[in-house]
Amino acid sequence: MLLEDKKLLVTGVLTPASIAFTCARVAQEQGADIVLTSFGRAKSLTERAAKRLPNPPDVLELDVSDPDQLAEIGTELERRWGRVDGVLHAIGFAPEACLGQDDGLFAASWSDVATAVQISAWSLVGLVQAVRPLLPRGASIVGLDFDATVAWPAYDWMGVAKAALESANRYLARDLGSAGVRANLVAAGPLRTVAARSIPGFSAFEDVWGDRAPLGWDITDAEPVARAVVALLSDWFPATTGEIVHVDGGVHAVGA
């Protein structure tokens, strides 16, 4: 099994439709021991989803905008495991003004944008910093991404935040490399999740993605993305870091 005896921290599970849920399931099927994170009112949803995994894991409280909770997650994982072999960062949020507004980028205030960047990009670094003392040589950080090389309909400041995430990943690869820790992203095609449905105009992606993808694309199937995540969390990519692996049916590679 690819992840036998690996200890993984998995963020971003809200419901069984979450991409991170499928990642968690496939990781367990490949031998990993995992914990999930959630916070506030969403935690009860995450706990309900956790019960549907092959081995229902604990759900730890973590709001990535709270420095105290970031510190506490490191302390808890040190007590629990003594090490963290891998982290899945599947966290993103932007206020309503940042997405799908008629005025595009001009609709959001700096406060809105700052929230989007903090939660969707800075949190990758904050999360890694929280567990950094627990990362052994060979550990792997994987984040979920949506290709930020072009401007998408309605994605607006979230697209900018994803560009920041991609840049942050490259710098993490630089800063963690001497410790033998890898940092990579998986740029997924659009999938029908709770988060996706909250994006105005998301149906525009659904309508055309399958037609444009050379391999086709199923917006309800997160399994291909999860397999890529698990492969990167495993020891099978020992010399790959700072990379963005596209799992989108090939859309990123073709023109309109």
pLDDT at 197: 67
pLDDT at 206: 74
Q: Which one of 6, 7, 43, 162 is the catalytic residue?
A: 162
Q: Are 107 and 97 in contact (CB under 8 A)?
A: yes
Q: Which one of 6, 7, 43, 155 is the catalytic residue?
A: 155
pLDDT at 80: 98
For residue 131, which amino acid is it? V
Beta strand 182-188 with 140-145: parallel, antiparallel or unpaired? parallel
Length of the chain in residues, anyone?
256
pLDDT at 192: 82
Where the chain has pLDDT below 70, the residues are 194, 196-198, 200-201
The full set of domain ranges for the chain reads 7-250
Residue 54 tokens read as 């092959």
- Could you read off the pLDDT of 141-158 as tens digits, one per residue? 999 999 999 999 899 999
Residue 155 known to be catalytic? yes
Distance CA 209, CA 146 (A): 13
pLDDT at 207: 72
Distance CA 79, CA 7 (A): 13
pLDDT at 255: 82
Residue 162 known to be catalytic? yes
pLDDT at 196: 63
State the CATH architecture for 7-250. 3-Layer(aba) Sandwich (3.40)
Residue 119 tokens read as 């939660």
**CA nearest neighbour of 6 among 76, 75, 86, 82:** 86
